[in-house]
Amino acid sequence: MTDTKTSETAPKKGKWTRRAFIGAGVVAGGALVIGVAVRPDNPVERLSPMVARGKGEQLINAWVKVDADNIVTAIIPHVEMGQGVFTSLAQMLADELDADWSKVRILEAPADAKYVSHDIGREFLAPNLEVPAILEPTVGGTFLQLATAMNLQITGGSFSVRGTGQRAMRVAGAAAKEMLIAAAAEEWNVPAGELRAENSMILHDKSSKSAPFADFAAAAAEQGLPNKPKLKSPKDYKLMGKAMARHDIPEKSNGTALFGIDADLPGMKYAAVKAAPVVGATVESMNVDTAKSMPGVLQILNMGDFIAVVADGYWQAQQALGTIDAKYSKTEGDTLNQDALFARYASVLDEAGDEGGDVETEQGDVTEAFANAATKVEAEYKVPFLAHATMEPMNCTAWVRDGKCDVWSGHQAPLMARKAAADTLGIDTDDVTYHNAYLGGGFGRRSENDAIIMATRIAKATQYPVKMIWSREEDTMQDHYRPSATSRFQAGLDKDGNAVSWSNIHTHLFDPQEAPTVPYYNIANHKIRKIDVPTHLRFGPWRSVDHSQHGYFIESFVDELAHAAGKDGYAYRRELLAGSKRHLAVLDKAAEMSGWDKPLPEGHGRGIAFVPSFGTIVAEVAEVDMTGAKPKVKKIYVAADPGFAVNPDGFAAQMESSIAYGLTATLYGEISVKNGAVQQSNFHDYPILRINEMPEVEVGIINGDHKRLGGAGEPGLPPLAPAVTNAIFAATGKRVRELPLSKVDFA
């Protein structure tokens, strides 16, 4: 369903030269920068002390610049980790500006508080807050303060396009256009209303006059900031909604793209690291006799929680590290085993009974409804810990000298990374320059600061630039994991099979808060509870966060209800969604695309699942072949309503990659602990989906509401696992209540 025919040539990314990459990390000067405030009547005096740290800094978001050659640069306050966000955000800005796409350049915003993504703070603090105008001076201002204070220059939560793009990049583009037109109107002495912009030109149709943006850029910067720049309605979109080619394809194809791991500095040395296998333990002693005499070795550091070997080359550092025998302190975590952990979940859930735990949502009276139900259904599901396994292993380069520090990495929240480095050293954030590069995969892993802190500590000890690279083993064993979890359900059906009560209790709730809830299903009584069962392992957000497990739990259980009611999974969900037009349209589209009613060959099965998350409604149908020794996922049909797909090709690509990532977890993903340490270490025991295992994917997009955009990076993932396991049930009658599938015996 992706429209590749309209694909246009990609704009070039503003080139970070090698020098710029290792240099100052600020927007290159020279060009005219049009400052565009997202908050027009900005109480600058009040906010400046909080957010404008440096001399001469003003509280404006400078997101558009125009240079003398009429090149428009969109400055993007998010990071690129393969999700294509640079292109979509530039499309939004350039469309509102009526810029010539072939002359649009893209620059990643520096790690500076001015580029903070304050919408993230807004949504996280008050997700249900409805603000009528796109510009909310008061609300926005408050959140800008908070977000800045929290160092939230974050790329996450499938948020960039629907948040920053919709509320900031479009506004910035529209405002810049109005300012350019106002400047041209003064210069030509005509009413602004007679002017329009097209292809980076200002046109006066009456006199047939035209001139490039560049001619007015300087005067435009002097204009007052428009109070309410007028945004286009969809019929006037020129770039939004089109499959513009991604700007980063050429450099990622020819190998010139620079990732964090490519940082290169004169005199730079390399560090290999090994952390205590049990998180929380410290290195009590290390035998370095062999390592000391190995080629290239410069320093061996016992950092307490980890050992680092610094050498001329990375291979040398890693080899020397491999010869070090270390003894670690005993910790409480040492006794933890995976089976015991699941047993602990079970006993905690048993103890909670019908009333224990923290209530997350409650409606009606589940106890009574369940007691009176004609049919009662109960089930328990389990999922393991999951690692992120980014293609680029964790790494960070740091150089500490003269009370200042430079840090190079690829991080999802550059300002947080900068602050982490500053706090590590006990210096001011102003004394830290953070240089961000492309991320070779993020998925939430690169929102953690552990690698930044480790590299900064090593660099402080050496005083020369050091590039720390984790081995794949460290990457797998020292992750911040998607939690392992157990979830139990009880539901009551009336005599017609309609669900009348829905109770759920599960271990952990991380985020988003709505992940375990099902407000879109018509069930009169529900009660959803959680219980935290802490372990010493570190939890971290993993693509789609809690939706990753709750999507599987909920949609498996709904399928069990359908079966108990003697109904088909698609028809049953239709009833549950009755009255919700947008939801139904998505479900229907997935069913229609898959030919839901058409017979499949013997031993094959179809399964459906439906999960709205991060503002996007998604339904998936999986076709699975169960005739072999293990399940073969043949095809996935995805129907999705993100409100409006700004770049349909990019959106479809995110659905496809969510399926690759989600199928990896469904088939194989399992991190387990033994004696407190993670048992898996590399791709042989933590496999990633192979290309021959990738199902065919068909994506159908519904643009259901152009005013409310949804995310793209994550929502494709949650329905995948249950669509697959429901298909397995359809084919074999075997219900999978524990992932991954590699543990299940289908013989």
Pick out residues in 273-292 that bind another protein (CB under 8 A): 283, 286, 288, 290, 292
Looking at the DSSP bridge assignments, the partners of residue 297 are: 311
Stretches 27-35, 200-208, 436-444, 666-674: which one binds another protein (CB under 8 A)?
Answer: 436-444
Buried b (16+ CB within 10 A) or exposed e, 135-152: bbbebbbbbbbbbbebbb
- Of 461 and 593, the one with the shorter C-beta distance to another protein is 461
Stretches 3-11, 228-236, 258-266, 419-427: which one binds another protein (CB under 8 A)?
Answer: 419-427
We find the least distance from the C-beta atom of residue 597 to another protein, in angstroms, to be 35
Q: Exposed, middle or buried: residue 364 (CB in 10 Å: 0-12, 13-18, 19+)?
A: middle
Q: State the Cα–Cα distance between residues 521 and 363, nearest whole angstrom.
A: 13
Distance separating the N- and C-terminal Cα atoms of the chain:
37
Fill in the amino acid letter for 24: A
Stretches 212-220, 298-306, 498-506, 617-625: which one binds another protein (CB under 8 A)?
Answer: 298-306
- Of 307 and 587, the one with the shorter C-beta distance to another protein is 307
- Of 470 and 542, the one with the shorter C-beta distance to another protein is 542
Q: Of these, 281, 294, 562, 638, which contacts another protein (CB under 8 A)?
A: 294
- Of 327 and 630, the one with the shorter C-beta distance to another protein is 327
Stretches 7-15, 250-258, 317-325, 486-494: which one binds another protein (CB under 8 A)?
Answer: 317-325
- Of 205 and 532, the one with the shorter C-beta distance to another protein is 532
Residues 77 and 155: beta-carbon distance below 8 Å: no
Q: State the Cα–Cα distance between residues 327 and 287, nearest whole angstrom.
A: 9
Asked whether position 298 contacts another protein by CB under 8 A, the answer is yes
Stretches 46-54, 225-233, 354-362, 451-459: which one binds another protein (CB under 8 A)?
Answer: 451-459
Question: CA 407 from chain center: how many Å?
Answer: 22
Looking at residues 669 to 728 of the shown chain, list those that interact with another protein (rule: CB under 8 A).
Answer: 713-714
C-alpha pair distances (Å), 634 with each of 439, 594, 637, 653, 718:
31, 12, 10, 18, 18
Q: Of these, 304, 519, 595, 603, which contacts another protein (CB under 8 A)?
A: 304
C-alpha pair distances (Å), 163 with each of 93, 152, 158, 316:
13, 13, 9, 45
We find the least distance from the C-beta atom of residue 360 to another protein, in angstroms, to be 14
Q: Of these, 137, 322, 364, 497, which contacts another protein (CB under 8 A)?
A: 322
Asked whether position 214 contacts another protein by CB under 8 A, the answer is no
H/E segment holding residue 632: strand 632-641
Q: State the Cα–Cα distance between residues 664 and 391, nearest whole angstrom.
A: 14
C-alpha pair distances (Å), 549 with each of 48, 111, 207, 370, 380:
42, 33, 63, 25, 13
Strands 61-66 and 72-76: antiparallel
- Of 217 and 451, the one with the shorter C-beta distance to another protein is 451
Looking at residues 539 to 578 of the shown chain, list those that interact with another protein (rule: CB under 8 A).
Answer: 539, 541-545
We find the least distance from the C-beta atom of residue 136 to another protein, in angstroms, to be 20
Asked whether position 331 contacts another protein by CB under 8 A, the answer is no
Task: Name the 3-class secondary structure at 126.
Answer: coil
Paired tokens of 467: 């590039």
Q: Of these, 177, 247, 457, 530, which contacts another protein (CB under 8 A)?
A: 457
The strand order across the sheet containing 209-212 reads 195-198, 201-204, 209-212
Asked whether position 231 contacts another protein by CB under 8 A, the answer is no
We find the least distance from the C-beta atom of residue 317 to another protein, in angstroms, to be 11
Tell me, by CB under 8 A, how many residues bind another protein: 71
Residues 666 and 687: beta-carbon distance below 8 Å: no
Looking at residues 43 to 102 of the shown chain, list those that interact with another protein (rule: CB under 8 A).
Answer: 81, 83
Asked whether position 129 contacts another protein by CB under 8 A, the answer is no
- Of 460 and 606, the one with the shorter C-beta distance to another protein is 460
We find the least distance from the C-beta atom of residue 308 to another protein, in angstroms, to be 8
We find the least distance from the C-beta atom of residue 531 to another protein, in angstroms, to be 17
- Of 83 and 487, the one with the shorter C-beta distance to another protein is 83
Looking at residues 585 to 624 of the shown chain, list those that interact with another protein (rule: CB under 8 A).
Answer: 614
Asked whether position 120 contacts another protein by CB under 8 A, the answer is yes
Looking at residues 132 to 161 of the shown chain, list those that interact with another protein (rule: CB under 8 A).
Answer: 149-152, 154-158
Task: Name the 3-class secondary structure at 481.
Answer: strand
Task: Report which of 35, 97, 86, 89 is spatially closest to residue 63, judged by C-alpha positions.
Answer: 35
- Of 140 and 229, the one with the shorter C-beta distance to another protein is 140
Task: Name the 3-class secondary structure at 110.
Answer: coil
DSSP string covering 279-313: TT--EEEEE-HHHHTSTTEEEEEE-SSEEEEEESS
We find the least distance from the C-beta atom of residue 295 to another protein, in angstroms, to be 6
Task: Name the 3-class secondary structure at 235.
Answer: helix
Asked whether position 460 contacts another protein by CB under 8 A, the answer is yes
Looking at residues 462 to 521 of the shown chain, list those that interact with another protein (rule: CB under 8 A).
Answer: 462, 464, 510-513
